[in-house]
Structure 1
Amino acid sequence: MSRFASLAIASTVFTVCTAGMAATPASADTASLDTLHCPTGTSKTTYDPPISRTEVDTTRTIDQKYTGCVGTGAAAGVTSGTHKDSNVTRRSCLQLGSEGDVSWEIKWNNGKTSKVSAHRVSNLVGAVFTNTFTGKITDGLLAGHGFVETMTALSPEITECTLNGGTVSELNADHTLNVI
């Protein structure tokens, strides 16, 4: 093989290798631009029949709104979203301060959806009930991204239920969602 042919092959291999290397950081930079922050969400959860200290089968209905959203990259133009669900569950107010794995789907204002899976940790301190969801978007808009969602509710009804045997029929909360 001639010296010229060897140099041409080496040059081609170098060009192909460096072109592939240059493309990787550009892709990573693009993915890092996909963010979403929804600071002013709210939710209303109802229990029918109301829950008490004794476990009952109850229909739990969740109506959640993600608002004030600001997105970048693939989430540009997302300003709001919703999550609605209804199921029959066996609950008591004593179980509200617990943890577990959950999943749900969010419908965004741009017509796209995100399926999420998270670990939930709930706490009740005084009359303040909190949930922290830490997880990943498993499908749809921003799939593969992690997220943290916090829910905070002032709920003297939960405190009354856990301490004195009252009931909880409704829970209203504020939410913040950060997709990273």
Structure 2
Amino acid sequence: MKRLLSALTVLVSLCAGALAGAAPATAGVLDVTCTPPSSNLNSYTPPLTGTTRTVTVSTTALYGPCTSLSQPAITSGSRTASFTITASCLDLLDPGTVTYTITWNTGQSSTITSSYTSAVAGAVLTVVATGTVTSGLFAGDSVVTNFTGPATDITLCTLGLGSVSSVYTLGTLEITSV
């Protein structure tokens, strides 16, 4: 029994020494977090079908409630855009890169470039993006977004049984210093 206690004491001492000598992990500071009901709405005119055609996309994202230790006045943000693409509903699940500008409730803005992936599992669409704030408030910080929403229209469209007039998702936005 004495040997077992001695062995355990040595083992605990070695583990404690290894942990004490380990370099601390360097983690960035979370500059801003926006949680649901943060949302993104993409509307397609005319609606996307299984056939590739020219479509106008109108997008509106509303971020909030948001919290920021470094910028405590930030409580929300938004972005809007309208552009033309040539696409079908089959393209909704393709990965891509996007650049957009969030205007915060303080009047400040952050321009972000992100790479995103989309997936449908069951009846849920998940869109995950990672990127960087390229200019404005929080320039140089990393950005992660994770949004989910119903995928019924997308699934039906990809099966040739319908169209997609809009995609609505809810999720989170995190901007972290590096």
What amino acid does structure 1 have at the position aligned with 2:49? S
Q: Which residue of 2 aligns with 1:51?
A: 48
Q: Taking every aligned residue pair, what percent have the same amino acid on both sides?
A: 32
Alpha carbons of 1:34 and 1:176: their partners in 2 closer, same or farther (altered >3 Å)? Answer: closer
Structure exhibiting the larger radius of gyration computed from Cα positions: 1
Q: Which runs of 4+ in 1 moved over 4 A?
A: none
- Which one of the candidate residues 134, 142, 149 is aligned to 2:145? 149
Distance 1:136 1:58 in 2: 28
TM-score, normalization by structure 1: 0.79
The total of aligned residue pairs comes to: 150
Q: Which residue pairs with 2:122 in the alignment?
A: 126
Q: Which residue is equivalent to 1:172?
A: 168
TM-score when normalising by structure 2: 0.80
- Give 3-state SS (helix, strand or coil) of 2:93's partner: coil
Gaps of 5+ in 2: 1-27
Question: 2: CA distance between counterparts of 1:121 and 1:44?
Answer: 17
**What is the CA RMSD across the aligned residues, in angstroms?**
1.7
Aligned residue for 2:95? 99
Pairing 1:70–2:58 present? no
In the other structure, the counterpart of 1:163 is 159
Counterpart of 1:96 in 2: which secondary structure?
A: helix
The answer as to whether partners of 1:121 and 1:131 remain within 8 angstroms in 2 is yes
Q: Is the 8 A contact 2:30 2:174 kept in 1?
A: no
Higher relative helix content? 1
Q: Which residue of 2 aligns with 1:8?
A: none
Asked if the contact 2:60/2:79 (under 8 Å) is kept, the reply is yes
> Does the 8 A contact of 2:65 with 2:75 survive in 1?
yes
Superposed displacement of residue 155, structure 1: 2.3
